[in-house]
Each structure stands twice: as C-alpha cells, then as structure tokens.
C-alpha cells in the first residue's frame, strides 16, 4: 500500500505536561481512526513530528495540526511516499528531544529548519531503532 510520510517542525506555545498529555490522548484516538502512525519529538523549544499513513489522512491531519494554537512557526521539512512505516506499532510515539539531535542553541539558530530532508529523515530512522523510553518532562519556565 502506498503511504506518505510527512515531517514538520514547530515551536511549542504553552508547553507543559498537561498540554502534552492532552495532545497525545487526542492524537492517538484520531490516528487510530485514520490509520496514522508516527512519532512526536518534543522539548520546550521544539516539536518535530513524523506522520505516516494514507496520503489523504496525513494531509488532513497535518492541516488540523498546523491550525493548532498550541504551537507556532509550523514548517514542513520533508514529505514523501514510502512503502514501509517507521513507527508501525505506534499511534503516536512520544519522544523527548535527545542530545544527539539538536541543542537548544542550534534550535534557536534555526538549525532544524535548515537541516536537509535526508538529515531529518535520518533522525527518525535512528529514533525508530532506539528503545522507547517514557519521557520525563523536566519542565523549565
């Protein structure tokens, strides 16, 4: 079956554990309905999400997400066809941004937006191979 993967980055607005819990609860319910899987990388300075599934479902979901007031500066970094899901077991995996990704300084300099499509995809390929660890959100305000 032909599938589409789409990755966007955005800047969280009002990032806290309650907000994330709510986002993930709704995301997983709707993604299950829509045959979407993926991963949401999050930190107080960054959301980086991969959506994968049937093309129409991915574009509809992205359209809803891009209008969401809980983040700003939403930009698509990569979109393309694929035959294999990276996160087939996950209605939406939640991953904390990790040290091998980008530092806060790099994010604030715009490094994520400037990364190549290949670099972006490689982050998710590597992440999909790593064991899932329940994120602990050390929230700083």
Closest approach of Cβ 26 to ligand FMN, in Å?
5
Residue 5 or 31 having the CB closest to ligand FMN? 31
CB atoms within 10 A of CB 71: 22
Closest approach of Cβ 66 to ligand FMN, in Å?
8
Residue 25 or 118 having the CB closest to ligand FMN? 25
Closest by CA position to 128, among listed 2, 7, 19: 7
Closest approach of Cβ 45 to ligand FMN, in Å?
13
Question: Tokens representing 50?
Answer: 């991969």
Binding site for ligand FMN (CB under 6 A): 23, 26-27, 30-31, 40, 47, 49, 51, 61, 64-65, 68, 70-71, 92
Residue 39 or 115 having the CB closest to ligand FMN? 39
**Residue whose token pair is 């789409």:** 6
CB atoms within 10 A of CB 18: 8
Closest by CA position to 44, among listed 77, 75, 11, 7: 11
């Amino acid at each position: 079956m032909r599938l589409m993967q789409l990755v966007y980055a955005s800047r969280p607005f009002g990032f806290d554990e309650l907000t994330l819990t709510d986002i993930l609860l709704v995301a997983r319910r709707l993604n299950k309905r829509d045959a979407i899987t993926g991963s949401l990388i999050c930190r107080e300075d960054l959301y980086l999400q991969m959506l994968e599934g049937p093309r129409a479902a991915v574009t509809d979901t992205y359209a809803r997400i891009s209008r969401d007031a809980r983040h700003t500066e939403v930009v698509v970094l990569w979109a393309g066809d694929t035959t294999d899901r990276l996160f087939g077991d996950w209605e939406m995996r939640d991953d904390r941004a990790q040290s091998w990704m980008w530092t806060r300084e790099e994010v604030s300099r715009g490094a994520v937006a400037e990364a190549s499509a290949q670099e972006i995809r490689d982050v998710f390929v590597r992440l999909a191979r790593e064991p899932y660890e329940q994120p602990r959100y050390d929230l700083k305000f």
